[in-house]
Structure 1
Amino acid sequence: MLCKDAKVDSYPTIYFFRGGEKVEYNGLRGYGDLLQVSEKAVDIVGKGITDVNEESFDQLAETDKVLFLYFYDHATTSEDFTAMNRLTLSLVNHAKLVKTSDPALAKRFKIGTFPRLMCYREGKTNYYSPLSPKEMRDLKQIVKWMKSVWLPLVPELSVANANDIMNKKYAVLGILNRQRNDEFTQDTRELKNAALEWMEKQTKLFQMERQELRDAKQLRIEEAEDRNDQRALRAAKGVHINIREDDRKQVTFAWVDGQFWQRWLKTTYGVDIKAGERVIIADEENNRYWDSTTSGAPIMPSRTSILETLSHIVNSPEKLRAKSTVGPVKGTVLTVRTFLGRHPLLLLFTFIATMMLISMSLKGNIRKTRSPGGSNGGGVVGGLFGGSPSFPGAFSLDSKDGMSGNAGNGGKVD
Structure 2
Amino acid sequence: MKVAKSIVASLLAIVFAKAADPAKDSGHGDENGPIVISINSIQLPELLTPETFNETLAQGINFVEFFSPYCYHCKQLEPIWKETYHRFLEESALSGISMRQVDCAANGDFCGKHSIRSYPTLRLYGPNEDNTSYKLITTYPSGGKRTPQNFLKFLRSQYDDLKNDRFNLPVKGEVLTEEKMLKLMNGDIEEPVLVSFWPTTDKETTLKYFEDVHSNPISFKNCYSCFNLAVLWSRITNRLPDLNTAVFNCGGTNSRVCQALNLPFNVNRAQVSPEIYMFLPNSQGGIRVKYNHDLIISDIVDWSERLLANAQAEEVTLDSLTTKMTSLDPRKGLDFLKGPDPNQKQVFIYYYEEGSDTPEDFEIWPHLLQPIMDLTTNTYIYRSRDSQLEDLLDKKYKKLIDYINTPESEPERPLNRETYLARTITSVPTFLVFKDNSMIPTVYQNFSPKEIRDVKKIVNFVEQNQFPLVDRLTIDNYESYFPKFNPEIHDKDEKLVVSFFSSDNKTQTINDYNQLLFIQHSYDYIRHQNRFDLIEEARADKTDKSEKLKGEGIDPKEIIKVLSKKIDHLNNIGNVLTVYVDLDDDQKFLEKTGWISARTKFKPGESIIVSRFGKHYWDRDVFGHKLMTTAQSLRETLSYLLFPSTYVPPENKTTVRPSPRVAGSPYPDALAFLDIIHQYGLFGYLLITASLIGVYTVIKGHRRRSRKAKFLSHKSNKEGFQDAYIELSKHD
Q: How does 1:6-405 map to 2 (within 5 A)?
A: 16=277, 22=289, 25-26=292-293, 29-45=295-311, 48-62=312-326, 65-73=345-353, 74-92=355-373, 94-109=378-393, 113-121=427-435, 122-167=438-483, 169-221=494-546, 229-246=555-572, 248=573, 250-267=575-592, 268-270=594-596, 275-315=603-643, 319-326=657-664, 332-333=676-677
CA contact (8 A) 2:515 2:629 kept: yes
Q: CA deviation at 1:200?
A: 1.5
1:50–1:99 Cα contact (<8 Å) kept: yes
Question: How does the TM-score come out when normalised to structure 1?
Answer: 0.69
Gaps of 5+ in 2: 1-254, 280-285, 328-343, 395-424, 486-493, 645-655, 668-673, 682-697, 699-732
Structure 2 distance, partners of 1:37, 1:68, is 17
Q: What is the TM-score with the length of structure 2 in the denominator?
A: 0.41
Distance 1:12-1:119 versus aligned 2 partners, 3 A rule: farther
Stretch deviating more after TM superposition (236-245 or 301-310): 236-245
For residues 80 and 314 of structure 1, the distance between their equivalents in structure 2, rounded to whole angstroms, comes to: 37
Pick which of 103-112 and 153-162 moved more.
103-112
Question: 1:68 touches 1:120 (CA, 8 Å); kept in 2?
Answer: yes
How far off is 1:143 after superposition? Answer: 1.0
Partner of 2:331: none
The CA deviation at 1:258 is: 1.9
* Equivalent position amino acid for 2:297 in 1: Y
2:351 alignment partner AA: F
CA contact under 8 A between 2:538 and 2:567: conserved in structure 1? yes
Take 1:184 and 1:69, find their aligned partners in 2: how far apart are those partners?
Answer: 32
SS class of match (1:245): coil
- One-letter identity of the residue aligned with 2:512: D
Which residue identity is paired with 1:71? Y
Residues 80-134 of structure 1: per-residue CA shift (max 9 Å, x gap): 1111342233223531112221233334447662111121222211112232222
**CA, structure 1 residues 334+232, in 2 after alignment: closer, same or farther (shift >3 Å)?**
farther
1:181 to 1:29, Cα distance in 2 relative to 1, 3 A: farther
Question: How far is 1:230 from its partner?
Answer: 2.3
2 CA distance for matches of 1:198 and 1:82? 37
SS in structure 2 at match of 1:299: coil
Residue ranges of structure 1 left out of the alignment (5+ in a row): 338-360, 362-414
Q: Percent identity?
A: 18
Match of 1:396 in 2: none
Q: 1:137 Cα shift?
A: 1.3
Q: Residues 348 and 431 of structure 2 are in contact (CA less than 8 Å); yes or no, is this contact kept in structure 1?
A: yes
Q: Distance in 2 between matches of 1:23 and 1:321?
A: 45
Q: C-alpha deviations, 1:252-311, integer Å up to 9, x for none? A: 101112222111224522268884342122225322222222455322211211112223
How many Å apart are 1:244 and its aligned residue?
3.2
Q: Deviations over 1:340-388 (max 9, x none)?
A: xxxxxxxxxxxxxxxxxxxxx9xxxxxxxxxxxxxxxxxxxxxxxxxxx
Contact 1:287 1:331 in 2 (8 A): no
What CA distance in whole angstroms lies between the structure 1 residues aligned with 2:303 and 2:513? Answer: 26
1:269 and 1:314 map into 2 onto residues whose CA distance is 21
Taking a change above 3 Å as real, the CA distance of residues 197 and 57 of structure 1, as seen in their structure-2 partners, is same
Deviates more, 1:280-289 or 1:76-85: 280-289
d(CA) in 1 for partners of 2:624, 2:614: 22
C-alpha separation in 2, matches of 1:91 and 1:34:
15
Q: Over the residues paired in the alignment, what is the CA RMSD in angstroms? A: 3.6
Q: Secondary structure at the match of 2:456?
A: helix
CA distance in 1 between partners of 2:393 and 2:530 (Å): 21
8 Å contact kept, 2:426–2:444: no
Rounded to whole Å, the distance in 1 between the matches of 2:288 and 2:360 is 18
The CA distance in 1 between the partners of 2:348 and 2:433, in whole Å, is: 4
Q: Which protein has the bigger helix share? A: 1
| Maintained 8 Å contact 2:481/2:612 | no
User: Are the equivalent residues in 1 in contact too, given 2:624–2:658 (CA < 8 A)?
Assistant: no
